[in-house]
Amino acid sequence: MKNTWKLKLRMILTSVLMFSIVYFLIMLVGAYLGISSWKLYFGASLLIAFLQYWFGPTLVKRSMKVRPLSEAEAPHIHQIVQELADAAGIPKPEIGLSEINIPNAFAYGRSSRSGHIAITRPILGLLDRDELKAVIGHEMGHIKHNDMIVTATVSVIPMICYYLAVSFLYSDNNNNGAGIIIGILGYVFYLVGQLLVLFISRTREYYADEASVEYGNRPAALVSALYKLSYGAANCSSQSISNASSNRAFFVNDINNAKNDVFEFRQIDFDNDGTISDDDLRRLAISDIKVSKKNGLMEIFSTHPDSLKRVKRLAELQ
């Protein structure tokens, strides 16, 4: 198994920083309300973490309209998942079908022993077996790394900061401006928290890509799948994208950036056949890839790495 200590360290540091932020903000709110017990602040922070940890998978399942996918319905999917679980050395995850009209797949759960992998219905008619297996291998990597629960847990903190900021900024009772200060700090923490969540989300995607290759999938199959998924999302209605946007960090690719991703993939589809072949990746591996300043800036605000940077790394594994 590839060493993932950097990923684990980043997840730990991000979690500590995020919960330090929410602890500090709750402490300020407590002081504003005349409550000075540190035990209350600490308990409130732990309660927030526990609630998101415990109910996070259920919320994802409901919001993504996931139902169990039986082996009788899709024996080939169950076979693929079993093969990949054996390669990853973890129990076979539960398999679900998401009734979302966007071709994609995602993983969720509390740990590698209680993982779930869901595929959306449109992905079944879009990818061939190798591509589908590479995508499921990517999701298996998330489960193996236990990164999905960290992302789900810390992602709630910016929202808490945002709602506190709004509550205090527009409160009629500002207590000589103290409420406004708390509101401003809450909004600043919201922005910082969002950037931290996006950073850890992008980082974990690289490791999941590498895990898919480690489990026996061809890098070109995964890249070709990303190409097709981007194209599929780019052709979905804006309403479908908007409805699923809040959960886009769980997807294999950033559905909000699909049209730009398609443009980037076309640059490396050297034979223009709509797929990325092994030869395409070999050519890319020895090419000098430069991400534009615009795309580099956009990446900071994206849940996933820039497509060219991501594919470049996969090309080097070819």
Annotated catalytic residues are 139
- In angstroms, the CA 204 to CA 102 distance is 22
Q: Which residues contact 248 (CB under 8 A, 6 or more apart)?
A: 254, 255, 256, 303
Q: Token pair 């999938």 is at which residue?
A: 217
The CA-CA-CA angle for residues 119, 150, 38, to 5°, reads 150
Is the dihedral angle over the CA atoms 13, 187, 197, 60 positive or is it negative? positive
Q: Looking at this protein, which amino acid is placed at residue 311?
A: V
Both structure tokens of 258? 């699909």
Per DSSP, the residues of 247-270 read GGGGBSS-GGGHHHHHHHHHHH-T
How many CB atoms are located within 10 Å of the residue 53 CB?
Answer: 15
Give dist(CA 127, CA 130) in Å, integer.
8
Q: Which residue has the tokens 């995964």?
A: 222
- Tokens representing 23? 């602890």
Taking each helix axis from N to C end, the angle separating 147-154 and 129-145, rounded to the nearest 10 degrees, works out to 70
Nearest Cα residue to 104 out of 238, 266, 239, 225: 225
Q: Are 140 and 211 in contact (CB under 8 A)?
A: yes
